[in-house]
Amino acid sequence: MISYHTTASPSPLWPEAFALAARAHAGQFQKDQSTPYIAHPCRVAMLVTRDFKCNDDAVIAAAVLHDVLEKTALTPEELRELVGEKVTEWVEWLSKGAMGPEADYWTLLASSPREAKLIKLADCLDHLGGHLDELDRRIESAKKALSIATDDDPYLAQARAKLSQAITRAEARKTSAESIGNLEHENDHSTGSVSRG
């Protein structure tokens, strides 16, 4: 079994990884166009450590870097030179199209190392808190992540439990929003008013 708790190394990798991710994602914003994109990878790294109790330096580094190959101009070769083979490999597993055809992403991810799966669960968990208009797609991705993270590993088991709970909350949030939307629509028609939504 892989140990996610390591002894402190003389030079931790994660601060360098956070700085690299911030530079790589500079100028990118989340869908709201005001939140810097780097907030998402930072939240993913936080979920890995705080919620999934994984303090492995390389896993934290890969978590904050998980989108750099997919969403920035950084290449696998450049990443490998900066953070090493292990972290780069995990980031490649998490990047659509890096390990094979994008259409095969989930099939390929199912054979990825536990560390990549753990980061993917954190990624999906963070996305469930996003915009309602993306919630269906995010719930579907989270369910796919649960289906591939079946390794016999206590960290993955804990992550699966947290993601399952979050999926339930996201589905309830979606249902509630739909109900409110339907109620507002019914009220608008019964009073003759038009919603300015």
The domains found in the chain, sorted by start residue, are 14-180 (1.10.3210.10)
Separation of alpha carbons 49 and 103, rounded Å: 30
Mean confidence (pLDDT) of the chain: 88
Range list of H helices, the chain: 14-24, 39-46, 57-64, 68-71, 76-83, 85-94, 105-110, 114-127, 135-148, 154-191
What is the reported pTM?
Answer: 0.86
Task: Name the pLDDT band for 7 (thresholds 50, 70, 90).
Answer: very low
Strand partners, 36: 29
For residue 172, pLDDT beyond 90 = yes
78: buried, middle or exposed (CB in 10 Å: 19+, 13-18, 0-12)? middle
**DSSP structure class, residue 10:** S
Residues 6+ apart with CB under 8 A from 72: 24, 25, 28
Residues 6+ apart with CB under 8 A from 160: 121, 146, 149
Other CB atoms within 10 Å distance of the CB of residue 11: 8
For residue 74, pLDDT beyond 80 = yes
What is the pLDDT at residue 17? 96
pLDDT digits (tens, 9 = 90+) for 105-162: 999 999 999 999 999 999 999 999 988 889 999 999 999 999 999 988 999 999 999 9
